[in-house]
């Protein structure tokens, strides 16, 4: 990802800008982990965020109008906008289109399409009809089975099994509305990190993170037909069984068992050593060591109490 900030400004026609430095952009970053030479946006205004903006250097910064009279302008490009998240999406799409003009070659090797920029250990076994995108790294003794699609910026560790027709690193489902209320897709370029000794089941999808990667930690076992959305972190040694769905930006603690057909709402944390029963709908965060059942899910101890009370009330009718 390399593009000069002035090219973005000219392409999108920005006028409410202050450009003290023409930045060569090499990526994106977040408020919590700001890196030089990146695109960053501040969705909300606060005095605390003003201090963060004042310490940013060599970045393409997209901000709300309120910042204009409050910040000290450093060696950055500043774009002021009513909806910084929407403008961030537009900017990144310009960068991606610029990258498409300089696509890295894809090679056909043993029946699979593999990017020249990938870094694959010689011991890796790849069955035919796979796709391996750019900047993909795959560690030793990993097996990639027929039809698997591993998109850009994915890292897979050692001794992993990637089963048939799964998709790892595709865009997540994220949109921002423009001023007319029309949905505009937010690019997801954070990639995916899969650590060592992980199994990913057939026809499973693991979406790219928006800015930072989606992470699957060591010894995780994921069954067939599972969906893990963008920005999730799945802790060590978790088991996620068939047809489970984990929505975006969830954190799942280590040693957790997720039963078939579980649904997890976005943005929550599930603790360590949790057991989630079949068909449970998790709509709020869960403490360590809980057993969750039902829809909406509740601790098993509470469900048992309610069941006993229900039986008692029915017997008295």
Q: What is the CATH number of the domain that holds 217?
A: 2.160.10.10
Q: Are residues 67 and 173 in the same domain?
A: no
Q: Are residues 146 and 79 in the same domain?
A: no
What's the pLDDT band for 189 if we cut at 50, 70, 90?
very high
Q: Please answer whether residues 95 and 25 qualify as being in contact, where contact means their C-beta atoms are separated by less than 8 angstroms.
A: yes
What's the pLDDT band for 102 if we cut at 50, 70, 90?
low
Is 230 among the catalytic positions? yes
Domain that includes residue 232, residue range: 113-302
The reply to whether omega before 296 is within 30° of 0 (cis) is yes
Q: Are residues 73 and 120 in the same domain?
A: no
Q: Which of 188, 225, 227, 230 is catalytic?
A: 230
Q: pTM (2 decimals)?
A: 0.92
Residue where the block lists tokens 């017997």: 315
Q: What is the pLDDT of residues 137-160, one digit of tens each?
A: 999 999 999 999 999 999 999 999
Q: What is the mean pLDDT of residues 79-108?
A: 88
Q: Count H helices and E strands in the chain, helices first.
A: 4, 37
Q: Are residues 118 and 96 in the same domain?
A: no
Q: Which of 100, 126, 161 is the last residue of a domain?
A: 100
Helix (H) or strand (E) run with residue 97 in it:
helix 84-100
Q: Is residue 59 part of a domain?
A: yes
Q: Are residues 13 and 120 in the same domain?
A: no
Nearest-angstrom CA–CA distance, 317 and 314: 5
Judged against a pLDDT cut of 70, whether residue 101 lies above it is answered with no
Q: Which of 50, 69, 100 is the last residue of a domain?
A: 100
Q: Are residues 144 and 80 in the same domain?
A: no
Q: Are residues 95 and 156 in the same domain?
A: no
Domain count, the chain: 2
Q: Are residues 201 and 63 in the same domain?
A: no
Identify the CATH number of the domain in which residue 32 sits: 3.40.1390.10
């Amino acid at each position: 990802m390399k593009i000069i900030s002035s090219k973005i400004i000219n392409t999108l026609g920005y006028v409410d800008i202050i450009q003290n430095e023409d930045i060569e952009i090499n990526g994106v970053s977040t408020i919590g982990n700001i890196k030089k030479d990146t695109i960053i946006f501040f969705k909300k205004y606060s005095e605390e965020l003003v201090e963060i903006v004042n310490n940013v250097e060599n970045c393409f910064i997209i901000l709300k109008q309120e910042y204009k009279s409050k910040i000290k302008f450093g060696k950055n490009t500043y774009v002021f906008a009513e909806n910084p998240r929407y403008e961030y999406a537009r900017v990144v799409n310009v960068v991606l289109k610029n990258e498409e003009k300089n696509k890295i070659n894809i090679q056909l090797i043993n029946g699979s399409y593999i990017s020249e920029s990938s870094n694959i250990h010689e011991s890796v076994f790849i069955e035919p009809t796979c796709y391996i995108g750019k900047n993909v790294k795959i560690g030793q003794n990993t097996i990639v089975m027929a039809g698997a699609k591993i998109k850009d910026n994915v890292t897979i560790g050692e001794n992993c099994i990637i089963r048939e027709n799964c998709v790892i690193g595709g865009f997540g489902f994220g949109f921002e509305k423009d001023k007319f209320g029309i949905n505009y897709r937010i690019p997801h370029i954070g990639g995916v990190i899969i650590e060592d000794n992980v199994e990913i089941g057939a026809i499973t999808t693991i979406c790219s993170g928006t800015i930072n990667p989606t992470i699957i930690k060591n010894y995780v076992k994921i069954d067939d037909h599972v969906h893990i959305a963008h920005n999730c972190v799945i802790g060590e040694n978790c088991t996620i069984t068939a047809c489970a769905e984990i929505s975006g930006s969830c954190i799942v603690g280590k040693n957790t068992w997720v039963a078939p057909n579980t649904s997890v709402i976005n943005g929550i944390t599930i603790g360590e050593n949790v057991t989630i029963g079949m068909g449970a709908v998790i709509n709020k965060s869960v403490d360590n060591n809980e057993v969750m059942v039902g829809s909406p899910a509740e601790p098993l101890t509470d469900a048992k109490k309610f069941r006993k009370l229900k039986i008692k009330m029915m017997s008295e009718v």
